[in-house]
Amino acid sequence: AIEEVWSKYPKMTQTQVRSALAAFLFKGDDVFKKISELSGGERARIALLNLMLGGYNLLLLDEPTNHLDAFSREELENNLLDYDGTMLIVSHDRYFINKLSSRILELGENGFTEYLGNYDYYIEKKAARQPAEIKAGTAKKSEKVNDYKLKKEQASQQRKLKTQLTRTENDIAALEKEIEEIQEKLNTEEIQTDYEKLIEFTDLLNSKNDELLDKYSLWDELQGMVEE
C-alpha cells in the first residue's frame, strides 16, 4: 500500500504517506502490503486516496461505496466531506448521496432537472410537484363522472399506492442489507482467493444492485403519486 502511494507522490515523506494511509484505514502491517495482496475494497480505498492526494479540483466517482464495509464507507464519507473541490457522483447508495450532495441532477425525457439540495430535498420537491401534475390531469375527467364515485375511486387508488409504497420500502431495506452482507463476504480472504467464488459473488452483487436501482425508481414513482 505504501509503495503504491509513494510511487505516485515521491516528494511526500514516509510520515506524510503513512498519515494519509491511516486516514483510509491502513494501519500496522497493512501499510506494507503489496497491491496484489489487497482486497477489492482495499484497492478501491487506495485508488480514492491517490485521487485525493492529486490535488484535483474535480472528482468523478462511479459507485465509490461498492466493496466497502459500513466502517470503511463512513471513513470515505468523512474524507470526501473535507474535499474542497467539485464531486460528480453516480451511486445507488442514497444515504451516501444524501450526506455528500449539494446538487442533484435528474435525467428525464426532456433533459436534466436541477435540484439545489441533497437527496432528501430532491425527494421532497419531486413529491410536491408530481401530485399537482396528477391532479391537473384528472380535473377534466371529474367533469364527466359522478363526484362521489370519483372520490371513492381515488381513495381506493391511494390506499393501494400506500400499500405498494410500504412494500417497496421494505424490499429496499432488505436489499440494502443483503447487498451489505454480500460486500462483506467479497472482502473476505476466502472469496478473494477463490476466482470462481469471486466471480459468482461479484455477479450476484451487480444483480442485487440492479434490482435495488429498480426498487428506488419504483419508490420515487410511488412517492410522487401518494397524496399526503
Amino acid 75: pLDDT? 76
Counts for the chain of helices (H) and strands (E), in that order:
9, 4
Which is it for strands 104-108 and 111-115: parallel, antiparallel or unpaired?
A: antiparallel
Amino acid 170: pLDDT? 92
Average pLDDT of span 72-99: 85
Amino acid 177: pLDDT? 92
- Chain-wide mean pLDDT for the chain? 82
Task: Report residue 54 as a C-alpha cell.
Answer: 492529486
> pTM for this one?
0.45
Which is more confident, 58 or 40?
Answer: 58
Amino acid 132: pLDDT? 62
Q: With 90 as the cut, is the pLDDT of residue 10 above it?
A: no
Which is more confident, 70 or 165?
Answer: 165
Q: Alpha-carbon distance 109 to 165, whole Å?
A: 24
Structural contact between residues 202 and 221, judged by C-beta atoms closer than 8 angstroms: no
Q: With 80 as the cut, is the pLDDT of residue 147 above it?
A: no
Top mean-pLDDT range of 62-71, 153-162, 211-220: 211-220
- Name the 3-class secondary structure at 114: strand
Q: With 70 as the cut, is the pLDDT of residue 131 above it?
A: no
Q: With 90 as the cut, is the pLDDT of residue 79 above it?
A: no
Q: With 60 as the cut, is the pLDDT of residue 11 above it?
A: yes
The residue written with cell numbers 463476504 in the block is 185
Nearest to 92 by CA among 179, 204, 200: 179
Amino acid 121: pLDDT? 92
Q: What's the pLDDT band for 191 if we cut at 50, 70, 90? A: confident
